[in-house]
Amino acid sequence: MDVTVSALGPEAVLVAVTGAVDLYSAARLRSRLDDAITQGHIRLVVDLDGVDVLDSTGLGVLVARLKAVRQRQGWLRLICTRDKILRVFDITGLDQVFVIADSVEDALSR
């Protein structure tokens, strides 16, 4: 799994994730998101379009970071257009919890 973080504004960052987000790699995503939050970025756009596997550990990381930024009056929005990954959110009901957008622009405008 690879994670890159780039600025979208003073408080917002884009976190682009590629590969598998699972038991073995989720700690890296957790660390990168925590670093961004610690640096004051409370508006996170997480791009999952490069993700081919997302398991419960990865979902747990995303849910916990959503809670963390909400406590700071921020938000975490997802970019995902891959049916396989969208199905995970649908099956778990997390599509009702997260804002899931088609693009960075769409995520920022919600």
Which of the four pLDDT bands, split at 50, 70 and 90, describes residue 44? very high
Please report the pLDDT score of residue 87 as a whole number.
98
Mean pLDDT of 78-100: 98
Please report the pLDDT score of residue 9 as a whole number.
81
Written as six digits, the tokens of 97 are: 């919890």
Which of these, 47, 33, 43, lies nearest to 79 by C-alpha position? 47
* HEC per residue, the chain: CEEEEEECCCCEEEEEEEEEECCCCHHHHHHHHHHHHHCCCCEEEEEEEEEEEECHHHHHHHHHHHHHHHHCCCEEEEECCCHHHHHHHHHHCHHHCCEEECCHHHHHHC
- Which domains, ranges and CATH numbers included, belong to the chain? 2-109 (3.30.750.24)
Rg (CA), the chain: 12
Rounded-to-integer distance, Cα 36 and Cα 91, Å: 29
What is the bridge-based pairing of β-strands 12-21 and 75-79? unpaired
Please report the pLDDT score of residue 33 as a whole number.
98
Greater pLDDT, 11 or 82: 82
Which of these, 11, 47, 8, lies nearest to 29 by C-alpha position? 47
